[in-house]
Structure 1
Amino acid sequence: MRMSLAPRRAVAALAAVLLAGGMAACGNSDTGTDEGGSGDGKIVMGFSQVGAESGWRTANTNSIKEAAAEAGIELKFDDAQQKQENQIKAIRNYIQQKVDVIAFSPVVESGWDTVLKEAKDAGIPVILTDRAVDSADKSLYKTFLGSDFVKEGRLSGEWLVEQMKSATGDVNIVELQGTTGSAPANDRKKGFGEAIAADPKLKVIASQSGDFTRAGGKQVMEQFLKAHPKIDVLFAHNDDMGLGALEAITAAGKEPGKDIIIITIDAVKDGMQALADGKFNFIAECSPLLGPQLMELAKKVHAGEEVPPRIETEETTFTQEQAKEALPNRKY
């Protein structure tokens, strides 16, 4: 049976509508113009986060999402689950989507030149947040926003040197490193090592990655305690690993903060509470609240303005009494 002309036209029209709808559903909301962007004048930012490995990272993610909403910036967010290949894939997706700005916190320092060059060739500015890369070509990104990790390690080591001035005999230190190859792990280790070199009796007897997680910190600390009968100090590259280590230390019948001095970095609420309770002894701060500064930088680089190549966040350190004072107003 042949279909009359009118129904055939109706079917064709319906097919066209469905095709257009299907294309819109499969596409991205930021491809509305040939120039890329949102099509409604909004800046579109593609952001690739390391993961959700710690309380610090969760606070950092929340800060970025909230600041983007407040700044009127459309945020395309990706969680790399601590895998570099996931971040590279996300950045390439952002390039294909023609976002206005790409920002990311690199899982590790090395191996970014190829994908960063792809972004540069596409005319999309890149901002590094929290963690740096070791690319020799500094033109591959516009700026770095974050902390001085070497300084954090150095401040931790200098505090320990001061505390151990009157100690006699060797002081045995174990170190819980962050993710292998990451900028904070490399730099905090370096800064701490340089600082304690001022006192020959301060000796790092074991150093291993706990991958910035509580579970990792607990597992590695259990190994340290079994292998080394005399541990005087724990230096953990972040609060979460230190909090995991607390469990292992307590289970081993030792008193954290007294039998083993504990130094950590970050100053998230749980870590600050442990410090206030005397279970930690010292924390060097690393603020995760980078969102507002990141959005301001995004607006500037999108507008073609010059920005400093490195912007550091203002941070401090905490002892037990200082933690007690700061805790009631702590935002993260």
Structure 2
Amino acid sequence: MLRKVWAGTAVGLLALSLAACNNSDTGGDGGDAGSGNEPIVLGFSQVGAESGWRTANTTSIKESAAEAGIELKFDDAQGKQENQITAIRNFIQQKVDVIAFSPKVETGFETVLKEAKDAGIPVILTDRAVDTQDKTLYKSFLGSDFVKEGRLSGEWLVNEMKSATGDVNIVELQGTTGSAPANDRKKGFAEAIAKDPKLKVIASQSGDFTRAGGKQVMEQFVKANPKIDVLFAHNDDMGLGALEAITAAGKVPGKDIKIITIDAVKDGMQALADGKFNFIAECSPLLGPQLMELVKKVNKGESVPARIETQETTFTQEQAKAALPTRKY
């Protein structure tokens, strides 16, 4: 009887051993797994929640990660570069499979990116780029062409003002100082309006991409400059804040002061449909699905393009009215 018990136990242990070996096989059908049946772990550092665009971007990333079966470690830097650097170092210590982030500014990330590279963790830039000579520090940059957005905004204004007589006074609400969208949108706009010498930027200041910042700076612009014909805001939220300052000054937004913005979030599109804005160049925040596809490819060691541009458009008042009913953000 004792001999039979030991024989049965041995068979059971052998079966368990074989099962364990089969489960540890990294081939299997793990799908999006980082190894075997383990999910890919993505560390993502978001720059903050400064605008409606950013909120929509965060939602897209979180929902897309869940749909793709990717484990997301999400960090909100609350608008501070030092918080992003700390978050990336934490991701390195946690040995995540891939790191992605939307940089607060273009410079100052080289050291921490080198740390990620040395740790063998691939990095993807989303929405905003970094300024570095070493392009091996990241695998790909997924985002908009900010120079193009600024240029399209300026080209619309050149066409809109082609029959105007006398100088056209423009004030500019810049985004966060040193950030890629602020630098590039300013550059693209300036290049476009240079074609018409009567278009003059008389004041330009950062509103930090926030409604409060847009309102505060526009209040200063209106007080210091009695004749303002055009406002170019680097995003919808600053433009929406500026609306309050323009109205409080007794002027009619969209008529007394033409308003050009970038992003095309729902509140901005509504202002355009209502005639308070005049033109919007789109910058889509819905990068989540494309990002998760990139994460999967990078994790497998596949080759990916160094630059992936999102597809976007522009809107006039009538186009905004048509698009609003099905707008997702």
TM-score, normalised relative to structure 2: 0.89
Deviation at residue 177 of structure 1 after TM alignment: 0.2
CA distance in 1, matches of 2:301, 2:45: 22
Which of 63, 66, 69 matches 2:63?
A: 66
Residue of structure 1 in register with 2:134 after alignment: 137
SS of the equivalent of 1:78 reads strand
Superposed displacement of residue 312, structure 1: 0.3
2:176 corresponds in structure 1 to: 179
Q: Hey, what does 1:289 align to over in structure 2?
A: 286
Cα distance between partner residues in 2 of 1:108 and 1:225: 29
**Letter matched to residue 91 of structure 1:** I
* Aligned length in residues: 297
- The CA deviation at 1:38 is 8.7
Specify the SS of the correspondent of 2:240. Answer: helix
- Moved beyond 4 Å, runs of 4+: 37-40
For residues 222-280 of structure 1, the C-alpha deviation after alignment (integer angstroms, 9 at most, x for no partner) is 00000000000000000000000000000000000000000000000000000000000
Residue number in structure 1 paired with 2:200: 203
Q: Which residue does 2:75 correspond to in 1?
A: 78
1:276 aligns with 2:273: yes
Q: Is this contact kept in 2: 1:38–1:44, CA < 8 A?
A: no
1:330 counterpart residue number: 327
**Residue of structure 1 in register with 2:104 after alignment:** 107
* Structure 1 residue 41: Cα displacement: 1.2
- The match for 1:251 is 248
Pick the aligned partner of 2:118 from 117, 121, 124.
121
Structure 2 residue aligned with 1:6: none
**What is the rounded CA distance, in whole Å, between the counterparts of 2:264 and 2:155 in structure 1?**
18
AA at the equivalent of 1:252: A
SS of structure 1 residue aligned to 2:38: coil
The one-letter amino acid paired with 2:231 is L
Q: Give how far 1:40 is off.
A: 4.8
- The share of aligned pairs that are identical, in percent, is 89
Give the aligned partner of residue 45 of structure 1: 42
Q: Measure how far apart 1:53 and its partner are.
A: 0.1
Structure 2 gaps of 5+ residues are: 1-33
Whether the aligned pair in 2 keeps the contact of 1:44 and 1:99 (CA below 8 Å) is: yes
CA spacing shift, 1:259–1:78, aligned 2, 3 Å: same
Number of the residue aligned with 2:53 = 56
Amino acid in structure 1 at the alignment position of 2:292? M
Tell me which residue corresponds to 2:88: 91
1:237 matched to 2:237? no
Two-structure CA RMSD over aligned residues (Å): 1.1
User: 1:19 — aligned with what?
Assistant: none
Classify 1:38/1:300 alpha carbon distance in 2 versus 1 (closer, same or farther; 3 Å). closer
